[in-house]
Structure 1
């Protein structure tokens, strides 16, 4: 009689749950017996956030709440590293597993970019469906693991030692003595604790003297920003974000949006944000991508001439964008020629206008292009805030801080020397996380084999198997332990580890010599990559080729990629985007219905004439309105001109995703309008995606009467000049037709117009009442 192979899994986030599900359902019953150890008292890992209150859910997010509707940061209990209402920065198709459809969690109204609390609900449903009660041990903090050999050729066992903490995070011991440490032996150990161990703050002289400083992970809501500014002894000046990573761009955007919202708050005439400036200090060149990108369907004859706007991951992860030949998973620095091609690719993707503001630190003072490979960040408002100087950029890194409590100076080391940044009121450290705490339970002997570097936050370990294993410790696995989009790779990594371990008996099975050679070569490549100096040559992601990683893992499993379209024969299929559901296990009948539901939703999104495509187009257009425009207006034979400025602010009414306060200065007179983008799951979005309101004169900046609505055409039309055209319309009850036309250069609006026509004197005739043309200021 064979006994189940016992597997200890450290972490109940997406990676740990996917591993447990794989062990329990992809093999005959009794093959594996997994146990998950999770130190928190809820599962979800990074997504183990609080559920928002009913009021918060109605408002869509916490940013617009008044202080009376939420606790301040000072009064809250311990919380996670992300705001519960934060949107994911890649779509629902990449933030998901192949065997659970979002529709089974949220019903028919699934947002394209789910919120953090919705991801928590997804993971809880995943566990409910696939992981029996008793497998997940919450409140169990692993303090030590020890790998012990059974004997020559008999493999090893892992002793896992943990403290069973009570419901409130205290030891379950009845007295105040040292907590009881429990232990159990396992055949295999999986590290699924992720890279987000502890917020990292570098040792900058003078930093400890700054009273108004937070790590970017603490800056989650309007209340957090208000608390940061309240802590400052000076009530105006620069708010400086240190760090050019993803969190740096997000923090800078949040601060600029907050100040803009204070300046144009409904019901207020005071501009509460004018005393502050947002400064972003970073060293690396980076491109800031909006959440929707245009995708030319060059290989799809049914969609020729259209340019659907898709979530950025469905564009970036599309196999049709890759050059022919093998996938690129190579570590190492990029040559100047390769970097130049990367810059050219981004410019082609984003267009000429957006590239001037969306590419940061790309050129020096003389206009010479950087030879460093750029990083990538995702944010919708950032680039236009840069254009309007609501976010100011400084290239360099902080050497020291002096001058508090009366307002401080940051001494910056720049490529050309050093310079002071004066009048600093507050500092946000967007300096990432240290993953070492996620590895602290591994013994020194194991860490030595893995070549652990506590100081290296990007590559703390030297692993093979695409960052999932080390051939010298075959009973140890890592799932999702790499920087980048990890849901799909984590699922496939778990399946590869389980497949290998299912073939292992009580005796240790040696790795074939040829495989060992390849794994040694891979580790040497990773080692050389880590040892590159200066470290900025390493780039943003060690395994930056997500498509190549997914395809390589699927090949190891001999897993075919599912077709993306039902309208084409196998030999003429569009390649389409690489997402987890396309690699689902076909003989898993329990999950087949879930995979079918997700595939149908994916096909619907990729179809240029779908309602989902219309909402994607509306969101992309709404984002691109941000900033200033010149306009000319023809009305009853007269022509006037002026300047329109779209100021982002927090949505002031439920059901809306985003909002602008638009000021139009026309021949010296000012008109204010409120533009609102419906949430993609809101009932409002079924009739119109963008709504335009007049401003209530009795309550400054507050929306009053509904003036017009935009119902977008389903897809964009490519023009002769290579731009593309998007149209929207609204037929009012009065019989007047409102028509909008936007001409885009990739992600930026080049020009747009708004025309109102009314029925003419003869049947079927129309007459132009007003026509307004806008061009970028």
Structure 2
């Protein structure tokens, strides 16, 4: 072990989740008697890495308003809890805010050098008589210019998102139309410039996570531009058709399963329970008993069939109902599954706001995209967004060539850029070099485990030291991570995320470091069909070995918050309102019957369509609440402009006439509640005042029925009482149909309306 009287110096490159976790672990979790001076360098003027810390910070690679694809239960560390009022699924700027709070709590002892880029790091022989090497690091900053530093250890925590990756021949070519990387997209105006006189397709290239996310985002921005209140955006709306002049065209190479952010825990139930997607996916009770086996890396045909069948059973669809181009056919099941996550993408496809082509982009000529190995073209393109990933090799560019060769750096391999030992933490030939977060996967618990292992290796003298604890030495001896990475580079059956099995990684790190997974604090819900108690994995299940009372309380708070949310989702119907709201997007067939007990009022049937058009949340009718959210730096969320059009037939009088109706539907994430608002008569896209809130009936009170979820609402209009009843019937995550009934009673009104909405 390191001499207790010697304090070693460590350079940490990067102040995102990985860099902060590395610094915190070195400062607070090193073995007894080991001390480190930690200096963190980051080229950006703030911490957070990918994650902006302010709503207005748009200089990074992630839009501040982007919704994370994991819940706050996954995007946190074991001993630091989110604030109680934070959203379950945060925006990017809220994630950055969490990281800044984490830095303030745990990294105050570190020297933080922001807006300071590491230009070069050389491994040189120690100038003292002691054996070993030190790192000479050269940095560049506007404030201090070039500086030289010497450190005992170097931790690279600058991550896989070093720089945007462009297809060959696309990076430095000039085009007649805008061509940008997805990481630089912010809004339509920034992409298109002045849209006046322009029209056409916004082509999104790339069918994995970022492609699905950005296509859904742009389609939402287009929908907002034409459906927002206020003056009509004539620069976005065709005056003849009154439809958008811009559409999204998505170019993909293979079928992809699309999951929403909240998935069904009981997908076979017409009234399913819902939880954030990551909590459902990390239910260890769904995995075989005994030690976990790695499910990622090389995907055999049998494994591919099993996982593709799992996604089909989870979604209860092959996705053909949304578009033939989205269909994952049975013949595709032999191939390794690919996944995308978006709340909006799949229903934007169904509503034709997004169209899909299969192929590979070869070139762009004028406003035409040419596809490789075919004569197919996509014409009338207004702009191109390249969702083609990131190059991790840029995060290693400051290392000397001989070190890069030892690490087998492959700049053009986006998944397996560098060959490192024990799950991307180190290389035995460079013992004073560590890596944290250098893998393409979203789990912060694995980052924390990597930081613990790197700290242990530094503290015990390196990966080949005879003083390593026996269990750690044995784990390193049996590790084949380097060979595995090298083999995956040429493996046509490599998985989408080669290190994506978070549960298995946690098990392997826990075993090597002798950190046991702690049980749940209380009794968890039991789920069919296995009828096993849920066993949700989060970073808090692997607390550190050196916890003071404050950290222990934070860890227990993390555990209890997850258990509370899971219990509420399974037993109280939490997230049902969110699932309904997400699934309303697009057009529905509407059949409504009106029966009046008064002869002066009509009795008849309405048939037509109801369309839910997504847009950003607006303040109208809720100005005070909106201002408070703005003041607290919160999220205004989304809302729908609801428009129904059709024909009403008065059966008693034999009359027919066209009818239309408009509302605003809103979802309040903090309250987990839907509400319906009247629209102003003179501004047909502006909310006026509240019609009613939708209250889902608790399962214990009969809200969960064989046909779906029941909900109610009410509204007193002068002397007339509207009693509203809903029934929402799901096919897993998607609404299959829903029913809406009103009974209206008052001095001059006595009628009932019953409507059925179907896709």
Q: Same fold (TM over 0.5)?
A: yes
| Match runs of 1:656-671 below 5 Å | 656-667=636-647, 669-671=658-660
Three-state SS of the structure 2 residue aligned to 1:32 is: strand
Q: Pick from 503, 512, 518: which aligns with 2:478? A: 518
Structure 1 partner of 2:568: 608
Q: Is the 8 A contact 2:68 2:91 kept in 1?
A: yes
> What is the distance in 1 between the residues matched to 2:285 and 2:129?
47
The yes-or-no answer on 1:119 pairing with 2:95 is: yes
Structure 1 partner of 2:240: none
What are the superposed Cα offsets for residues 417-451 of structure 1, whole Å, 9 maximum, x if unpaired?
Answer: 33111111211111111112211111211111110
Structure 2 partner of 1:379: 342
* Alpha-carbon offset, residue 33 of structure 1: 2.4
Change (3 A) 1:400 1:493: same
Q: Is the 8 A contact 1:201 1:429 kept in 2?
A: yes
Three-state SS of the structure 2 residue aligned to 1:465 is: helix
Three-state SS of the structure 2 residue aligned to 1:461 is: coil
Q: Is the 8 A contact 1:154 1:507 kept in 2?
A: no
The yes-or-no answer on 1:651 pairing with 2:614 is: no
Moved over 6 A (4+): 151-154, 231-234, 510-514, 716-721
What are the superposed Cα offsets for residues 571-620 of structure 1, whole Å, 9 maximum, x if unpaired?
Answer: x9834221111211265023111112222211111113799x65521111
Structure 2 partner of 1:544: 500
Q: Pick from 120, 125, 132: which aligns with 1:156? A: 132
Q: Pick from 536, 556, 570: which aligns with 1:596? A: 556
Structure 2 partner of 1:40: 44
> What is the distance in 2 between the residues matched to 1:447 and 1:30?
29
* Alpha-carbon offset, residue 78 of structure 1: 7.2
Change (3 A) 1:561 1:759: farther
The yes-or-no answer on 1:290 pairing with 2:286 is: no
Three-state SS of the structure 2 residue aligned to 1:80 is: coil
* Alpha-carbon offset, residue 559 of structure 1: 2.1
Q: Is the 8 A contact 1:332 1:528 kept in 2?
A: no
What are the superposed Cα offsets for residues 383-405 of structure 1, whole Å, 9 maximum, x if unpaired?
Answer: 01111211110111111111x2x
> What is the distance in 2 between the residues matched to 1:101 and 1:385?
35
> What is the distance in 1 between the residues matched to 2:752 and 2:292?
56
> What is the distance in 1 between the residues matched to 2:497 and 2:523?
36
Q: Pick from 150, 162, 176: which aligns with 1:210? A: 176
Q: Pick from 457, 462, 466: which aligns with 2:414? A: 457
The yes-or-no answer on 1:342 pairing with 2:307 is: yes
Q: Is the 8 A contact 2:53 2:95 kept in 1?
A: no
> What is the distance in 1 between the residues matched to 2:328 and 2:715?
49
Q: Is the 8 A contact 2:48 2:96 kept in 1?
A: yes
> What is the distance in 1 between the residues matched to 2:510 and 2:661?
54
What are the superposed Cα offsets for residues 127-160 of structure 1, whole Å, 9 maximum, x if unpaired?
Answer: 1111224522223321111223459997633323
Q: Is the 8 A contact 1:18 1:490 kept in 2?
A: yes
Q: Pick from 196, 205, 219: which aligns with 1:256? A: 219
Structure 2 partner of 1:740: 726
Q: Is the 8 A contact 1:140 1:164 kept in 2?
A: yes
Structure 1 partner of 2:693: 709
> What is the distance in 2 between the residues matched to 1:505 and 1:742?
59
Q: Is the 8 A contact 1:347 1:355 kept in 2?
A: no
- Point out where structure 2 has 5 or more consecutive residues left out of the alignment: 238-243, 596-602, 620-625, 630-635, 648-656
> What is the distance in 2 between the residues matched to 1:123 and 1:595?
16
* Alpha-carbon offset, residue 495 of structure 1: 1.0
* Alpha-carbon offset, residue 678 of structure 1: 3.2
> What is the distance in 2 between the residues matched to 1:156 and 1:674?
72
> What is the distance in 2 between the residues matched to 1:102 and 1:583?
17
| Match runs of 1:438-453 below 5 Å | 438-453=395-410
Q: Is the 8 A contact 2:453 2:513 kept in 1?
A: yes
> What is the distance in 2 between the residues matched to 1:318 and 1:153?
54
Q: Pick from 678, 683, 691: which aligns with 2:675? A: 691
> What is the distance in 1 between the residues matched to 2:538 and 2:573?
22
> What is the distance in 1 between the residues matched to 2:246 and 2:594?
40
Q: Is the 8 A contact 2:257 2:340 kept in 1?
A: yes
- Point out where structure 1 has 5 or more consecutive residues left out of the alignment: 53-76, 173-178, 299-303
Stretch moving more, 438-447 or 329-338: 329-338
Structure 2 partner of 1:189: 154
Structure 1 partner of 2:322: 357
Three-state SS of the structure 1 residue aligned to 2:564 is: helix
Three-state SS of the structure 2 residue aligned to 1:418 is: coil
Name the TM-score, length of structure 2 as normaliser: 0.85
Q: Is the 8 A contact 1:17 1:127 kept in 2?
A: yes
Q: Is the 8 A contact 1:286 1:360 kept in 2?
A: no
> What is the distance in 1 between the residues matched to 2:495 and 2:42?
32
Q: Pick from 118, 121, 135: which aligns with 1:142? A: 118
* Alpha-carbon offset, residue 652 of structure 1: 2.0
> What is the distance in 1 between the residues matched to 2:679 and 2:232?
13
> What is the distance in 2 between the residues matched to 1:439 and 1:697?
60
| Match runs of 1:41-80 below 5 Å | 41-52=45-56, 79-80=59-60
- Give the RMSD, CA atoms, in angstroms: 3.3
Structure 1 partner of 2:363: 400
> What is the distance in 2 between the residues matched to 1:127 and 1:522?
31
Change (3 A) 1:482 1:735: same
What are the superposed Cα offsets for residues 238-266 of structure 1, whole Å, 9 maximum, x if unpaired?
Answer: 21111112111122112211222222221
> What is the distance in 2 between the residues matched to 1:33 and 1:355?
57
> What is the distance in 2 between the residues matched to 1:95 and 1:191?
20
The yes-or-no answer on 1:93 pairing with 2:73 is: yes
| Match runs of 1:673-692 below 5 Å | 673-681=662-670, 685=671, 689-692=673-676
Structure 2 partner of 1:17: 20
Change (3 A) 1:768 1:483: farther
Change (3 A) 1:693 1:575: closer
Structure 2 partner of 1:239: 202
* Alpha-carbon offset, residue 518 of structure 1: 2.6
> What is the distance in 2 between the residues matched to 1:282 and 1:305?
32
Three-state SS of the structure 1 residue aligned to 2:309 is: helix
Three-state SS of the structure 1 residue aligned to 2:46 is: coil
> What is the distance in 1 between the residues matched to 2:198 and 2:129?
69
Three-state SS of the structure 2 residue aligned to 1:15 is: helix
What are the superposed Cα offsets for residues 42-85 of structure 1, whole Å, 9 maximum, x if unpaired?
Answer: 21111144344xxxxxxxxxxxxxxxxxxxxxxxx971111222
Name the TM-score, length of structure 1 as normaliser: 0.83
* Alpha-carbon offset, residue 726 of structure 1: 1.6
* Alpha-carbon offset, residue 212 of structure 1: 1.3
Q: Pick from 353, 375, 389: which aligns with 1:390? A: 353
Change (3 A) 1:598 1:770: same
> What is the distance in 1 between the residues matched to 2:455 and 2:331?
50
The yes-or-no answer on 1:483 pairing with 2:430 is: no
Structure 2 partner of 1:728: 711
The yes-or-no answer on 1:318 pairing with 2:307 is: no
Structure 2 partner of 1:59: none
